Structure 1
């Protein structure tokens, strides 16, 4: 195997992953900025637009995965943070925004990678957010439904107090 980009960083990257208990996962090209895989689905964007009009509010997008030398599963930080690359570091601005909300609802694609790493990083950086965090289990999909690492991380989040529910039960909450 030979990295396509940043060959000079590859060995250090692998060692940094190993130090945090992570492994290197080789992915096919996916979620490439500007591609269909990266885009918000048409159904969701229409719902967001309708909500913006009815509530006279707006939504804000946060980007991840813009540094070629590291995976960036979590919305909050890259798998490996680089000193000279702010886009890989913990996103304090986003965490500060979440502090202002009464509830934080988590959902998304790749329950066993992006979603679980985002939840883990958020709770590690701001454990006080656990009280207002709800995870919609029916609004995410798994790459590997037997991912033991992800299952363990979700169990830890449950123990800390994150509420897990299906989206239809939210109205009754």
Structure 2
């Protein structure tokens, strides 16, 4: 969020969430279900600085990209030498997927901290929706496995065969596919929203990406990744999804 002291600030996020909360209040009677995803991390993990060191023993700064070749040539290494085979196996699988290289992120959304919580305006709005509908919001936790990056709420970049929570969430996909319209909002449009929407559009049993509506005024990119967000929205639009604003959708 774009709040002083945030570990991973997203400029515009606070206003995005205010607009989303307004939409929930204004159109709650039209909304049959709400799913909230929570980035849920530990203080250490394969994408956290504490996991890594430089070849000469130095610290690895956030927003550093680490590739398998960097590890093989000793530019970056896991702090625990015994983790080297697992790290290389992960990086090879990640890069073979063709979506991402490993990005070292500042620690954020650590379970139990305020950054892990749902933004207050949105929480208050969906609480009002819950009381009106007499049904709870569906909450999905993702990112708790320290050995894989989990941008998407539907599956991590590299599933861990020993961890069921890292397998594709087909039950959630099927649940969302029952809706006539799937409104998507959140942070960040360059990463978590992007990855989740891509996986949803690719695996909807109906194949109807046209039911996806992206509220572009209720999402913002991580600073420096604006082009990645722009390309994502353009790609989704080309697949048949609708890109609009909360106000335009309310007027419709």
Same fold, TM exceeding 0.5? yes
In the other structure, the counterpart of 1:153 is 232
* Structure 2 segments unaligned to the other structure (5+ residues): 1-52, 54-76
Q: Secondary structure at the match of 2:216?
A: strand
Q: Tell me if structure 2 keeps the 8 A contact 1:74–1:114.
A: yes
**Which stretch shifts more, 125-134 or 97-106?**
125-134
Aligned twin of 2:186: 108
Q: Does the C-alpha gap of structure 1 residues 75 and 17 become closer, same or farther in structure 2, counting only changes over 3 Å?
A: same
Matches within 5 A, 1:113-152: 113-126=191-204, 128-144=207-223, 146-152=225-231
Q: For 2:208 and 2:111, locate their aligned partners in 1 and report how far apart those are by CA, in whole Å.
A: 29
The answer to whether the Cα contact below 8 Å between 1:65 and 1:72 also exists between their aligned partners in 2 is yes
Structure 2 counterpart SS, 1:105: strand
User: Residue 190 of structure 2 contacts residue 232 of structure 2 at CA under 8 Å; is this kept in 1?
Assistant: no
Higher relative contact order (CA 8 A, sep 6+): 2
Q: How big is the alpha-carbon RMSD for the aligned residues of Structure 1 and Structure 2?
A: 1.8
Distance in 2 between residues matched to 1:4 and 1:97, nearest whole Å: 41
Give the corresponding residue for 1:15: 92
Taking the aligned partners of 2:112 and 2:79, their CA distance within structure 1 comes to: 20
Partners of 1:154 and 1:3 in 2: how far apart? 35
TM-score (structure 2 length as normaliser): 0.64
When the two structures are aligned, how many residues end up with a matched partner? 173
Distance across 2 between alignment mates of 1:20 and 1:144: 25
Runs of 5+ consecutive residues of structure 1 not aligned to the other structure: none
Report deviation, 1:110: 1.2
The answer to whether the 8 Å contact 1:112/1:144 transfers is: no
TM-superposed deviation, 1:145: 5.0
CA drift at 1:150: 4.0
Structure 1 residue aligned with 2:249:
170
State the TM-score, normalizing by the size of structure 1: 0.91
Question: Do 2:190 and 2:225's aligned partners in 1 also have CA atoms closer than 8 Å?
Answer: no
Shift of 1:3: 3.5
What pairs up with 1:17-96 in 2 under 5 angstroms?
A: 17-21=94-98, 22-96=100-174
Whether contact under 8 Å (1:64, 1:72) holds in the other structure is yes
Higher alpha-carbon Rg = 2
2: distance between equivalents of 1:17 and 1:144?
A: 23
> Structure 1 pair 140/64, CA: closer, same or farther in 2 (3 Å)?
same
How far has the Cα of 1:11 moved from its partner? 0.7
